[in-house]
Chains A and B, each alone.
Chain A
Amino acid sequence: MIDSASITHSGFTGSRMQWLFLGIAGVLLLATLVAEFLRWRLHGNQRAGLDLERSRGVIDNLVARIRAWWLMAALVGAAFALGRVGVIVFFALVSLFALREFITLTPTRRGDYWALVAAFYVVLPWQYWLVYTGWYGLATLLIPVYAFLFLPILATSGGDTTRYLERAAKVQWGLMICVYCISHVPALLNLKIPGFEGGNLLLIAFLVIVVQSSDVLQYVWGKLAGKRLVAPKLSPSKTLEGFVGGVLSATALGAALWWITPFTPLQAAGMALVVNLMGFYGGLVMSAIKRDRGIKDWGHMIEGHGGMLDRLDSVCFAAPVFFHFTRYWFAVPG
């Protein structure tokens, strides 16, 4: 009885997944065509001058971004195709690259060596192992409680008290943002939602699609209608118009995707709204850190996007909240 139910469910999931990826491919194809058309038109336009030079820069960046989107969609698709283990390993690597960027750009000192060894080689794999085994209790406590206590202990081994509190905070922040928060994305696979068995990959797809398109739509709305800066000191590109337009249209997109989730259209809209707000403020917080460090991008991994953290700042903040909201209101405990 249960078996046949889950089989029909996973069959349903499979076809929804196919539609979803076809849809994504369609959107990316459209974006590619538009960008190539813009480039072709600009190329044909022989008017010289600064203006042309600037639009060429914008379009080259757009083309690079869209290429990177194709690659990212392909990688996520490949991880999905490999199933549960593929997804967990994929996000563990994402965490590793993100933590590498974070620790690289927030200087630590020689005395932090053992704390950093523990962060990279013990805490990070352990957190993903806990996600793999589904040990919810420890996965929730490992970094906020145990790493919080033990890493500063390790950091005292060097006997270096220079900027001690600041250094301890940096390692802990790196782990929270890059490992703890990101690990909540594959942890969605562990939720047991009645009537949604075998569909958890679609929850990940919902979260990632809504957050990422919110970023893109904020950018587009900001370019088209942006006038008032929200936080000029933190980010020169975030405008009120971009924020409102982006969040609202991405929320509408989330509602339109209700069919891949266990939510009703209204619930999907609510979830998308929360996720978009968290994503927006995540971008703002991470931008404040970058500005404090005097840098523009976290890294250089992805052409047109900067580093891993530049692309994932919003996901980091949205993932734990999305995970817990879904867990409290839709999943059975366990």
Chain B
Amino acid sequence: MLEGLIARAISFAIRALTGARGLWRGCAPAEGLRVYYGNHASHGDFVLIWSALPLALRRNVRPVAGADYWNRDALRRYVIRAVFNGVLVERGPAATAAGDCDAAAKARAQDAIATLCEAVDGGASLIVFPEGTRNPGDGLLPFKSGIYHLACRRPELEFVPVWLDNLARVMPKGRVLPLPLLCTATFGEPLRLHAGEDKAAFVARARDALLALAPPEFIAEAAAKDAAA
């Protein structure tokens, strides 16, 4: 009850501040097993996606969040668990440093996918950020392979790309005071894992689908950066 009110209040605040709009370009809002995945630049990201969904859907949509960050104090624990019903997964430094050969990291990643499958089996849709961490720069970071492993285990899942525009300017990493600028969440066409598709191909396809929703000047800049790398 109280948690519901807090969630609505946070959602209202972020809408009032950013005039948040959801643009359903590639699909309509619908129930069902979906994974909304977006670009990640701000703590408000999952709230923006969550707020852009119709009220009836929100209850069954759970943000996936890093346990290391959200377990750090009582307030954060309360917000992510009780208010947003988030799914907490262990990231740890090894996972972000692409330490796939590290046995501990591998086990942790396995656990994380198992946790996500459990949530999906419980009837929840998920909000994930495949860049793995908030992106301090301008482009789109390489995706982690988590969404591929999730897709392998639950091939019935629809992956919906959601491009978040401008939220990074509202609340840049490391700042506390938000700027009132207009934000949009653009929902693209859902994609699924093809039979026999390998990890690199699926992850690249998912990333391209997300980038395709970005403003043209952003796409040009990202392409230049990818070419240079």
Are the CB atoms of B179 and A120 closer together than 8 Å? yes
Are the CB atoms of B182 and A108 closer together than 8 Å? no
Per-residue 0/1 for B17-43: is the Cβ within 8 Å of any A Cβ (1 yes, 0 no)? 001010000000000000000000000
User: Is residue B177 within 8 Å, beta carbon to beta carbon, of the partner chain?
Assistant: yes
Determine the distance from Cα of A108 to Cα of B138 in the docked complex, in whole angstroms: 12
User: Is residue A136 within 8 Å, beta carbon to beta carbon, of the partner chain?
Assistant: no
Determine the distance from Cα of A104 to Cα of B21 in the docked complex, in whole angstroms: 14
The one of B21, B166, B172, B177 in contact with A110, judged by C-beta atoms closer than 8 angstroms, is B172
Number of interface residues of B (CB under 8 A): 11
Per-residue 0/1 for B171-203: is the Cβ within 8 Å of any A Cβ (1 yes, 0 no)? 010010101111000000000000000000000
Determine the distance from Cα of A120 to Cα of B169 in the docked complex, in whole angstroms: 14
The one of B172, B175, B177, B181 in contact with A104, judged by C-beta atoms closer than 8 angstroms, is B181
Q: Which residues of B contact A324 (CB under 8 A)?
A: none
Residue of B nearest to A96 (CB): B180
Are the CB atoms of B182 and A101 closer together than 8 Å? yes
Q: Which residues of A contact B181 (CB under 8 A)?
A: 100, 103-104
User: Is residue A209 within 8 Å, beta carbon to beta carbon, of the partner chain?
Assistant: no
User: Is residue A242 within 8 Å, beta carbon to beta carbon, of the partner chain?
Assistant: no
Q: Which residues of B contact A121 (CB under 8 A)?
A: 177
Per-residue 0/1 for B148-166: is the Cβ within 8 Å of any A Cβ (1 yes, 0 no)? 0000000000000000001
Determine the distance from Cα of A322 to Cα of B180 in the docked complex, in whole angstroms: 30
Determine the distance from Cα of A110 to Cα of B169 in the docked complex, in whole angstroms: 7
- Distance between A155 CB and nearest chain B CB, rounded to angstroms: 14
Are the CB atoms of B175 and A113 closer together than 8 Å? yes
Given contacts A110-B172, A113-B172, contact A300 B21 (CB under 8 A): yes
Given contacts A100-B19, A113-B175, A300-B21, contact A108 B169 (CB under 8 A): yes
The one of A103, A113, A120, A301 in contact with B19, judged by C-beta atoms closer than 8 angstroms, is A301
Are the CB atoms of A100 and B180 closer together than 8 Å? yes
User: Is residue A246 within 8 Å, beta carbon to beta carbon, of the partner chain?
Assistant: no
Are the CB atoms of A100 and B182 closer together than 8 Å? yes
Given contacts A104-B166, A108-B169, contact A113 B21 (CB under 8 A): no
User: Is residue A117 within 8 Å, beta carbon to beta carbon, of the partner chain?
Assistant: yes
Q: Give the tally of cross-chain contacts (CB within 8 A).
A: 27
Determine the distance from Cα of A121 to Cα of B172 in the docked complex, in whole angstroms: 17
- Distance between A118 CB and nearest chain B CB, rounded to angstroms: 11
Residue of B nearest to A299 (CB): B182
- Distance between A295 CB and nearest chain B CB, rounded to angstroms: 10
Determine the distance from Cα of A100 to Cα of B16 in the docked complex, in whole angstroms: 12
User: Is residue A116 within 8 Å, beta carbon to beta carbon, of the partner chain?
Assistant: yes
Determine the distance from Cα of A121 to Cα of B19 in the docked complex, in whole angstroms: 17
Residue of B nearest to A117 (CB): B177
Are the CB atoms of B182 and A113 closer together than 8 Å? no
Are the CB atoms of A120 and B180 closer together than 8 Å? yes
Determine the distance from Cα of A103 to Cα of B21 in the docked complex, in whole angstroms: 17
Determine the distance from Cα of A103 to Cα of B169 in the docked complex, in whole angstroms: 10
Q: Which residues of B contact A100 (CB under 8 A)?
A: 19, 180-182
Q: Which residues of B contact A101 (CB under 8 A)?
A: 182
Q: Which residues of A contact B175 (CB under 8 A)?
A: 113
Residue of A nearest to B173 (CB): A110
- Distance between A167 CB and nearest chain B CB, rounded to angstroms: 13
- Distance between B225 CB and nearest chain A CB, rounded to angstroms: 15
Which of chain A's residues 92-121 have a Cβ closer than 8 Å to chain B? 96, 100-101, 103-104, 108, 110, 113, 116-117, 120-121
Determine the distance from Cα of A323 to Cα of B179 in the docked complex, in whole angstroms: 31
- Distance between A242 CB and nearest chain B CB, rounded to angstroms: 30
Q: Which residues of B contact A299 (CB under 8 A)?
A: 19, 182
- Distance between B166 CB and nearest chain A CB, rounded to angstroms: 6
Q: Which residues of A contact B172 (CB under 8 A)?
A: 110, 113
The one of B21, B166, B179 in contact with A116, judged by C-beta atoms closer than 8 angstroms, is B179
Determine the distance from Cα of A101 to Cα of B183 in the docked complex, in whole angstroms: 10
Residue among A101, A104, A108, A116 with most chain B CB within 10 A: A104
- Distance between A40 CB and nearest chain B CB, rounded to angstroms: 31
Determine the distance from Cα of A104 to Cα of B182 in the docked complex, in whole angstroms: 6
On A, residues with C-beta under 8 Å from B are: 96, 100-101, 103-104, 108, 110, 113, 116-117, 120-121, 299-301
11 A-B residue pairs with Cβ-Cβ distance under 8 Å, sorted by A, are: A100-B181, A104-B181, A104-B182, A108-B169, A113-B172, A116-B179, A120-B180, A299-B182, A300-B19, A300-B21, A301-B19
A-B interface, 3 closest residue pairs, ranked by CB to CB distance from nearest: A104-B182, A104-B181, A100-B180
| 19 more CB-based (< 8 A) A-B contacts, given A100-B182, A116-B179, A120-B179 | A100-B180, A103-B179, A103-B181, A104-B166, A104-B181, A104-B182, A108-B169, A110-B172, A113-B172, A113-B175, A113-B179, A117-B177, A117-B179, A120-B180, A121-B177, A299-B19, A299-B182, A300-B21, A301-B19
